[in-house]
Amino acid sequence: MDEECDYQVKIVVIGESQVGKSSLLLRFTEDTFDPNQPATIGVDFQAKDITFREKMVRITIWDTAGQERYRTLTSSYYRGATGIILVYDVTKRLTFENLDRWLKEAREHIGETDSVTMLVGNKADLPDRQISLEEGKDFARKRGMLFIEASAKETTGVEQAFMETIEKIFDQPTLAERCRIYRPAKSSTQVGSESSSTSSSSSPQVVDPSAQKNDTNDGGQGGLCGC
């Protein structure tokens, strides 16, 4: 299967323990949800092959443990990543307050312009939220991140979180180039501008800071994730 792929995109999923990182991954790769999802130990790995802009793309997703005791183990898994999905739980303020710590760690391993970062407010299905949609959006905008709320349980926003990250990676030629798999026998190809058939357009909308020209970008990634 590997030899059929034109591109390989590595995405690392980070954030506090119990925010639903593994659940988002499980929903995206297998379209299932486990209410008793066990805590990740160290790091897990999943792959999904998609057709995107008429090219075969293998998405490799590294699901890291949120628990502090596994952090030194997981930090090495940032290597080669072009996408970061940073997750908080909309019902747990502490997971939101610690986002800058996670972002700092990611930035220590991947330069600001070398990746696309998507902030995901998960568990949007729960009624007892502590972080409003506006607060999440604002946080992401100020740091130049993409943003979406999601529910791994109810499926909403999950496909978009991953696919918008992929799209933004391929919108930046230098990042797309890093993902390309070179094979001597094949002629070189560029990812074109046709839209992906895999992206869904149901209710949650990804917020893209690069489309908001008037906003201050006081932290971040130089426009959208360096573009």
User: Applying CB under 6 A, which residues contact ligand GTP?
Assistant: 17-23, 34-35, 37, 39-40, 65-67, 122-123, 125-126, 151-153
Q: Specify the residue, 44 or 171, whose C-beta has the smaller distance to Mg ion.
A: 44
Please choose which of Mg ion, ligand GTP, none residue 20 contacts, taking the beta carbon within 5 to 8 angstroms, the exact cut-off set by kind.
ligand GTP
Task: Work out whether 40 is an interface residue with Mg ion (CB under 5 A).
Answer: yes
Binding string, 3-32, against Mg ion, x = CB under 5 A? ------------------xx----------
Smallest separation (angstroms) from Mg ion to the CB of 221: 25
Q: Specify the residue, 64 or 221, whose C-beta has the smaller distance to Mg ion.
A: 64
Please choose which of Mg ion, ligand GTP, none residue 215 contacts, taking the beta carbon within 5 to 8 angstroms, the exact cut-off set by kind.
none
- Piece of 38-46, 148-156, 182-190, 205-213 that binds Mg ion (CB under 5 A): 38-46
Q: Specify the residue, 48 or 142, whose C-beta has the smaller distance to ligand GTP.
A: 48
Smallest separation (angstroms) from ligand GTP to the CB of 50: 22
Contact, 120 vs 157, CB < 8 A? Answer: yes
The burial of 217, by beta-carbon neighbours within 10 Å (0-12 exposed, 13-18 middle, 19 or more buried), is given as: middle
Q: Helix 21-30 to helix 158-170 angle, to the nearest 10 degrees?
A: 80
CA distance 219 to 100: 10
Phi-psi region of 34 (alpha: psi -120 to 50; beta: other; left: phi over 0): beta
What is the sign of the dihedral through the CA atoms of 86, 88, 93 and 98?
A: negative
* Residue 37: both structure tokens together: 């999802």
Q: Specify the residue, 122 or 172, whose C-beta has the smaller distance to Mg ion.
A: 122
DSSP string, 91-114: T-HHHHHTHHHHHHHHHHHS-GGG
Q: Specify the residue, 40 or 160, whose C-beta has the smaller distance to ligand GTP.
A: 40
Distance of CA 34 to the CA centre of its chain: 20
Using CB under 5 A, list all residues that contact Mg ion.
21-22, 40
